[in-house]
Amino acid sequence: MAEFTVSLSRNSAEAVWGESAKLSFTESGAIIHLPDDKLNERLIQQAARKLDGLSLPAVTLSGDWHKEQQWAFALSFTRARKPASIKWAETADKEALEQEYSALLFTRQLVNETPEDLSPETLATRAAQWLKSLGGDKVTYSMTVGEDLKEQGWIGIYNVGRGSERPPAMLVLDYNPTGNADAPVDAVLVGKGITFDSGGYSIKSSEGMLDMKCDMGGAATVTGALGLSISQGSEKRIQLILCCAENLISGHAYKLGDVLTYKNGVTVEVVNTDAEGRLVLADGLMAATETGAPLIIDAATLTGAAVVALGSDYHGVFSLDDNAREQMLKAAKAENERFWPLPLEDFHAERCPSAFADTANSRPMKGGGGGGASNAAGFLSRFVKPEGWVHLDLAAAYHGGATSEMPVGATAKGIRSIARMLKDFSA
């Protein structure tokens, strides 16, 4: 079968394709017509969506493409089901694009997986096996599952996941290229891995539950970022902690009014079982802090409030450390990914008060009330050292429906920025 080639042109399309047409076809493929010398990523994305609608098995990018133009095409051309393969243009960026695209495919496929096939243990196992395939002997890991979580004091993950017949799991993975078991840990990535979120007894609507297979998007994103970092030859010691559970309803599920006592002594009243992500991340952040790493990044599809604030175009960035926040934003800008800072101050830790515990896990009102994303970040701040900590609320991780620029499903946006942050961060 002949190759279907896609090229760029600064010339206008022939009139037969319509007035101001941005896409035209030849015997061997298609031409995307750009109006000027700018990158025009949105225009390329829109053209890629139209081409993706043709259900092509493969395309070859030919001619003069900037790296970011190729990446924009890939983001939009890669459909959720049976994605076509992409052959990159013969440029100096080809190897880098192959590494990044491999991480994107893994991340998207994991998030798009049906929840029946992705239990908490399966999520942790697949993440570990993929990273092991990239890092070989430099990667070691352990999993704590079910009742062992309770015995070891990881009560957030345990309680959120105990309502399911499929037990919760905590993955701790160590990428250590130094060969020295006593080498300091340079960074820790923590991911929310809720493989399905019914909302628990604070049950979601059917429509609100439909896309909740994506609630492990944080775990997939940090795994994809670490895999990309390993592929890029990172020489830093980086740990990954995934907090995996199914949030379901049963006679064994956690309930509203329960008070959880964490390892660090903080007591938490459960006023909303659908504010479960912060409960599992609290365990991961405590474990990350124990390593003494100067950089801790957690990522989660945590709040609807972040989506209300940012839409599905940006990831929210929170930090009590100005230096860490600015470096995260700088990394995102360098990778041409949309990250945006949202407020977090010390007082946000007090914004979910409880008469029965040190704090509640939310406020007892729809969506957690005003400032819900900041209040969630404030809750997390109780469980992590503020220096070098960045919290990412992944509003742009998933699209419930296709748009003119993006396919339905997982986006994998953020993996490049996090990998860049791991490489460039200085305390």
Q: Which has the closest alpha carbon to 213: 106, 303, 109?
A: 109
Beta carbons of 302 and 278 less than 8 angstroms apart: yes
- Separation CA 170–CA 263 (nearest Å): 15
- Separation CA 387–CA 384 (nearest Å): 9
Q: Which of 87, 150, 204, 338 is catalytic?
A: 204
Q: What is the dihedral of CA 252, 205, 349, 285, to 10 degrees?
A: 60
Residues sharing a CB contact under 8 Å with residue 310, sequence separation 6 or more, in sequence order:
316, 340, 342, 395, 396
Q: Which of 67, 236, 278, 325 is catalytic?
A: 278
Asked if 420 is an active-site residue, the reply is no
Q: Maximum CA pair distance of the chain? A: 72
What single letter denotes the amino acid at residue 329? L
Asked if 81 is an active-site residue, the reply is no
Write phi, then psi, for 225 (nearest 5 degrees).
-65, -40
Can you read off the two tokens belonging to residue 217?
């998007």
Q: What is the dihedral of CA 144, 149, 153, 155, to 10 degrees?
A: 130
Question: Where in the sequence numbering do the catalytic residues fall?
Answer: 204, 278
